[in-house]
Structure 1
Amino acid sequence: MAKNFTRSDRIAQQLQRDVAELIRAELDHPKASLITITDVEVTRDNSHAKIFYTFLGTPEDAQLIAAKLEQAKGFLRSELARGFKLFKMPELHFLYDHSIDRGFKLDTLISQAAALPKAEDDGEGEA
């Protein structure tokens, strides 16, 4: 069974690939290679694109990266427009993806819970 992808889905996938490559190659920051684009959501009318990213580094560096992405979004949008055949290039909105951090915290909590001593069964349920 073939899956039907909307045009917005295909645009989002291409934007994710192209933005990741542009950030790696063109962003003028020494730690730009530590940015990972995790997801892109494009509105139905293709006027806005939410670009979710993560960053491996200190919180201070993450704030600098966020400011750098905001500063560079006009440049990135114009570079992306060269490779897309769209009537209007979506406006880019960069949002930090906290799901990776939450996943690490949950994994840590699960590991801690698994390491706790197990409660002994009192045997009331057995016949």
Structure 2
Amino acid sequence: MKRIKVVGAAIIDDAGHVLISKRKAERVLGSLWEFPGGKIETGETPQAALKREMQEEFQDQIVVGPQVGTTAVHQYDFGEIHLSVYFAKLLTHHFNLLEHSKVEWVEQSELLKRDWPAADGEIVKELAQIDLSEVSFDA
């Protein structure tokens, strides 16, 4: 089975909202909500991949913070996904959507009410319980 390493950004704002993105309907796992991000390329750190993916897919720059929970592993028919999600802050706000149909800022309580890919499920549950005011972006 193909092993695919993926990274996502739990982008938070100063008001404690989380940015989520909806996959385009025609894509694999279409119309489901996810954390923006993408595949980690060979030799790339998850943080570098996340910065690259946000630039490619949204035309935005981010600061990457600590990892949210642990890396989730889920087997789909197309491969085994290893998903790591990191807190992030936006430095720019272009949201040039190439892979997604829309983005939304949501409250933590709204996260569990959305339809997510199975790999995201446990991370979403963990994120919903974290005090976002305690998340630090210090080097």
Which structure has greater strand proportion? Answer: 2
Is TM (by shorter chain) over 0.5?
no
Q: TM-score, normalised by structure 1?
A: 0.29
Higher relative contact order, chain-length normalized (CA < 8 Å, sep 6+):
2
Structure number with the higher helix fraction is: 1
